[in-house]
Amino acid sequence: MTPLPTPVSEDDLHAYVDGLLPPARVAEVETWLAAHSDKAAEIALWQRQNEALTALFPPVAAETVPDRLKPRQLARRPRGLTLNWPQLAAAALVLLALGAGAGWALRTFERPSESDSLIASAVTAHSLYVKENRHAVEVVAADRDHLVSWLSNRVARPITPPDLAAEGFDLVGGRLLPGDYDADDNGPAAQLMYQNAANDRVTVYITAALPADGNAYQFVTRANLDAFYWSNDRITCTVVGSLPETEMKAVAKKIYTQLTWRPDGTESTRS
Amino acid sequence: MDFLDEIETCVPALRRYARALTRNADRADDLVQDCLERAIRKRGLFRPTGPVQAWLFRILVNLWRNSLRSERRRGEHVAYDALVVEPSIPAPQPGRLALGEMNRALDRLPDDQRETLLLVVLEGVSYEEAATILGIPIGTVMSRLSRARTALRTLTGIGDEPRLRTVK
């Protein structure tokens, strides 16, 4: 028997069964299987598993799509919670035109989005604690190991304070806050505080990811404070501060980069 | 192609996968509707740079995982409906797996293995795409597939069948 050019791996066998191999490789795998009957039996079983799954869940392309699954209809439907940005902008104009009274009445129909309420909490917490001197944080940066393990445990996500030395900011410390989001399982929030030589302070407000929020980005200005918000499948993060715009952006970007890298080196945020 | 049209072409694939995950046609459509609404709501805020289909699948999977989580917390049980065992092949021929048996076996797979196997088998996505959709490294896709196939083999009793028959 002639030896095979490339050894057949377990991955090749899966790809063979799933029809993901290039034709040339298919032939090689088949030759290999012919010589390995025990593996061939298992592969045949995998193929039968695939057939059974396909039979259990046949394609639905032939079925009529109900109206509620038609994107055009969904996009047209004026639901309070599903407004997109152009609609929101239009709604805002209408509210202005109607005046404050009518605006207030209509406002009760619109619940703030999950991320909006997180941003609001982050901003409130920022304004409350940046004024403090002795009680700005619960755990000071000198106690970093404790700070990291405590916050990571309570938020149930690994929280490593970003290093902002290059931007001139040192970690002051951190504290635990109640998560303000009204969903059941979002858990508490961690607030990290940084300070530069000019005593400007920046806070980073981190919670576990919102249910199914996926990746999102927002930049808002509230009460003279800038807030950068983003979320991925693991955390939400809001950076709050009142620095000049370019400085604020640099800090936010640095924090974003450091918090979105996973231990295995892959970036957790994808588009 | 317009964004909404693009989404529309993905609906059948989303429904199929959602049915396999939920094993309940109504619940599957609820899940797909949620996913579409979310996608439409986010399009201005978050523009996907990759293929729209992968992005939609990713939203769907996240929604499904969250609903499983909150269900477990509340201890709800959702009944399967009749949809599932409507065999589209006439009768179990020799060499085919019985569909009912497969259905029960699938039910007992760990969630992460089930979502991976179904995505690859039903939707025919590449392993790389599956990794993107599920938010896991490709090596994890492979190991979940491998574990799922081994587990199904045990659960459907195929590997053990001949031995069991000789017992009597």
- Nearest residue of chain A to residue B89 (CA atoms): A55
Contacts of B123 in chain A (CB under 8 A): none
Does residue A93 form part of some domain? Answer: no
pLDDT > 70 in chain A, percent: 77
Q: Do residues B9 and B71 share a domain?
A: yes
Cβ–Cβ gap B149/A53 under 8 Å: no
Q: Do residues B72 and B128 share a domain?
A: no
Does residue B76 form part of some domain? Answer: yes
pLDDT at B16: 95
CA A250 to chain centroid, in Å, comes to: 20
Q: Do residues A155 and A224 share a domain?
A: yes
- Say which amino acid occupies A11: D
Does residue A99 form part of some domain? Answer: no
ipTM: 0.83
- Say which amino acid occupies B33: Q
Determine the Cα–Cα distance for residues A261 and A1; give it in Å rounded to an integer.
49
Positions of E strands within chain A: 139-140, 170-177, 189-195, 201-208, 216-222, 225-231, 235-241
Closest CA to A49 of A15, A18, A26: A18
Contacts of A49 in chain B (CB under 8 A): 97, 102, 149, 152-153, 156
Of residues A193 and A93, more confidently modeled: A193
The CA-based angle A50-B156-A56, given to 5 degrees, is 40
Q: Which of A18, A61, A84 sits opposite B121 (nearest CB)?
A: A18
CATH number of the domain residue B49 falls in: 1.10.1740
Q: Do residues B65 and B111 share a domain?
A: no
Determine the Cα–Cα distance for residues B104 and B156; give it in Å rounded to an integer.
8
Determine the Cα–Cα distance for residues B154 and A200; give it in Å rounded to an integer.
62
Count: domains in chain B: 2
pLDDT at A268: 46
Determine the Cα–Cα distance for residues A64 and B76; give it in Å rounded to an integer.
31
Does residue B167 form part of some domain? Answer: no
Return the axis-axis angle of helices B111-123 and B3-22, rounded to nearest 10°: 130
B130 to chain A, any CB pair closer than 8 A? The answer is no
Cβ–Cβ gap A270/B132 under 8 Å: yes
Domain containing B80 equals 1-84
Q: What is the pTM of this model?
A: 0.54
A14-18, A50-54, A81-85: lowest mean pLDDT where?
A: A81-85
The shortest C-alpha distance from A211 to chain B (Å) reads: 6
Domain boundary among B63, B84, B105: B84
Q: Do residues B145 and B68 share a domain?
A: no
A193-207, A234-248, B33-47: lowest mean pLDDT where?
A: B33-47
Does residue A82 form part of some domain? Answer: no
The set of residues, in sequence order, having a beta carbon less than 8 Å from that of A51 and lying 6+ positions away, is B96, B97
Does residue B164 form part of some domain? Answer: no
pLDDT at A203: 96
pLDDT at A148: 92
Domain containing A247 equals 114-259
Q: Do residues B80 and B25 share a domain?
A: yes
pLDDT at B79: 47
- Say which amino acid occupies B138: I
pLDDT at A62: 84
CATH number of the domain residue B150 falls in: 1.10.10.10
Determine the Cα–Cα distance for residues A208 and A58; give it in Å rounded to an integer.
37
Q: Do residues A156 and A223 share a domain?
A: yes
The shortest C-alpha distance from A263 to chain B (Å) reads: 12
Determine the Cα–Cα distance for residues A30 and A33; give it in Å rounded to an integer.
5
- For the stretch A132-180, pLDDT in tens is 888 889 999 999 999 999 999 988 888 889 999 999 999 999 999 987 6
Cα of first residue to Cα of last residue in chain B, in angstroms, is 64
Domain boundary among B84, B116, B133: B84
pLDDT at A232: 83
Question: Contact at 8 Å (CB) between B16 and B123?
Answer: yes
The shortest C-alpha distance from A55 to chain B (Å) reads: 6
The set of residues, in sequence order, having a beta carbon less than 8 Å from that of A12 and lying 6+ positions away, is A21, A25, A29
Q: Do residues A26 and A156 share a domain?
A: no
Does residue B6 form part of some domain? Answer: yes
pLDDT at A85: 63
CATH number of the domain residue A156 falls in: 3.30.200.100
Tell me which residue has tokens 């996926």: A214
Determine the Cα–Cα distance for residues A16 and A28; give it in Å rounded to an integer.
10
Does residue A100 form part of some domain? Answer: no
- For the stretch A106-116, pLDDT in tens is 444 445 577 77
Of residues A181 and A149, more confidently modeled: A149
Domain boundary among B40, B56, B84: B84
- For the stretch A214-230, pLDDT in tens is 677 778 887 778 888 88
Cβ–Cβ gap B45/A218 under 8 Å: yes
Determine the Cα–Cα distance for residues A243 and A225; give it in Å rounded to an integer.
8
What sign results for the dihedral spanned by CA atoms B132, A69, A217, A177?
negative
Average pLDDT per block of 10 residues along chain B, 168 residues long: 85 95 92 91 63 89 89 60 43 64 89 96 94 93 96 76 40
